[in-house]
Amino acid sequence: MTTLTDNPISSQNTSNYQSINPNDGTTMESFPTLTSAELEDKLATAQSCFSIWKTTTYPERAAVLSKAAELMRASVDDFARLATLEMGKRFAEAQGEVEFSANILDYYATNSEAFLQPVTLQPAAGEGHMEASPFGLVFCVEPWNFPYYQLARVAGPQLMAGNTLVVKHAGCVPQCAVAFEKLLLDAGAPTGAYTNLAISHAQSDLVIEDPRVKGVALTGSVRAGRSIAARAGANLKKSTMELGGSDAFIVLEDADLVRTIPWAVWGRMYNAGQTCCAAKRFIALEPIADEFLEKFTAALSAQKVGDPMDVTTTHGPLSSESALLDLIEQVDRAVAHGATLLMGGKRIDRPGWFMETTILTDIAPDNPAFREEFFGPVVCFYRVANEDEAVALANDSDFGLGGSVFTRDVERAKRIASRIDTGMVFINSIDWSDAELPFGGIKDSGYGRELGNMGIQEFVNWKLVRTHDIDAPE
């Protein structure tokens, strides 16, 4: 069999993985990409591990995941500090992410055996059942914005299903990537069950094409999704794609603004706005639009910019200078095409990668901003005449990840939710994710689901076994 060491494209060993503190721009540590020989060794080890790991029992796998969750909770601040230093997440948010990641690992340790029990069928004659078995080696490509949660939500279900994982994490969070791999090893996972790969994009393509890899999971941009999904498809490999979003936040005329405004602020500013399912397009019905915008603007203006390690900070930095510059360019382009800049739009004059909280209004359908995702503290505000216009505007998007509806009439909100073309809709809150709830979208937001019972089904083979004692046809 041809191995990765036979291909010169994977021979590089450069420093594509760097920890740079977004709060002040200082480089903390650099990590080289793997050589061809190192990558081949890791893939071979992961494949060898699968032959053993798939034969372990659910309780044996659960013991590893439960221990990993225990270790995460025992070192919440240590894990959280790494996330804050590497990608600028406010420390309190990072602590919450670590806790949630541990909950995910525990959830699958507890529930996976029940999720994958054989299913008895009732054929017209004879008997039959479906039984689950793991695919094998799964390649995961994960982003920086939730450096532990993104890993936990593939590691939890797929390790419990009996798969082994090789994972390319984002280049700006290498210490978080190393820490998560070490966590699982410390918890008793065999070498090769979960493997961190510091590899280049060219090497990533080779991993997808490697015949030992049986499935591909990506969380990332639409551009990355198109590239990776195409390569996986060309190699007839199952893939899941969790991509971008431009979620609508619909405010009906009877919304309780005392409750709605805090959710609007949180929905846009959590993780400095760098969340795929963040509230990004704020759609208010005309009778309440002025009051909502006035109070929302005041609440956003009250955000405190500062060091993300400072517990009083409510507005932290973006993850990188390129992310900051790209976002400013998007805002400038939107204004050049006719949008009104109500507030913000500029870099904050301080060290690090901070951007002013920004509000854009008067965004016409021919403005590039109407179709784009703003991955940062930028609000796109729209006013509409009625409920039907709100739904039509919410659906007039290339994305279809999530959305939310705020009203005192919950039944009305449920009817609207049924009309919105997304993978998720939230009513009177934006409670995005629980371990037991499936997460994912449609359209350019991708396909497949993570978390819940659906998350563990993505890379298992449900085999039909039928018994029917009859003579062969003549």
Asked if 315 and 303 count as a contact pair (C-beta separation under 8 A), the reply is: yes
Asked if 216 and 139 count as a contact pair (C-beta separation under 8 A), the reply is: yes
Choose, from 97, 242, 373, 387, the residue flagged as catalytic.
242
Residue with the two structure tokens 């563990």: 456
Q: Write out the two tokens for 338.
A: 């006719």
Choose, from 172, 176, 276, 380, the residue flagged as catalytic.
276
Residue 20 φ/ψ, nearest 5 degrees: -125, 125
Active-site annotation holds for 242: yes
Per-residue H/E/C for the chain: CCCHHHCHHHCCCCCCEEEECCCCCCEEEEECCCCHHHHHHHHHHHHHHHHHHCCCCHHHHHHHHHHHHHHHHHCHHHHHHHHHHHHCCCHHHHHHHHHHHHHHHHHHHHHHHHHCCCEEECCCCCEEEEEEEECCEEEEECCCCCCCHHHHHHHHHHHHHCCEEEEECCCCCHHHHHHHHHHHHHCCCCCCCEEECCCCHHHHHHHHHCCCEEEEEEECCHHHHHHHHHHHHHCCCEEEEECCCCEEEEECCCCCHHHHHHHHHHHHHHHHHCCCCCEEEEEEEHHHHHHHHHHHHHHHHCCCECCCCCCCCCECCCCCHHHHHHHHHHHHHHHHCCCEEEECCCECCCCCCCECCEEEECCCCCCHHHCCCCCCCEEEEEEECCHHHHHHHHHCCCEECCEEEECCCHHHHHHHHHHCCCCCCEECCCCCCCCCCCECCEECCEECCECHHHHCCCCEEEEEEEECCCCCCC
Instruction: List residues with catalytic annotation.
Output: 242, 276
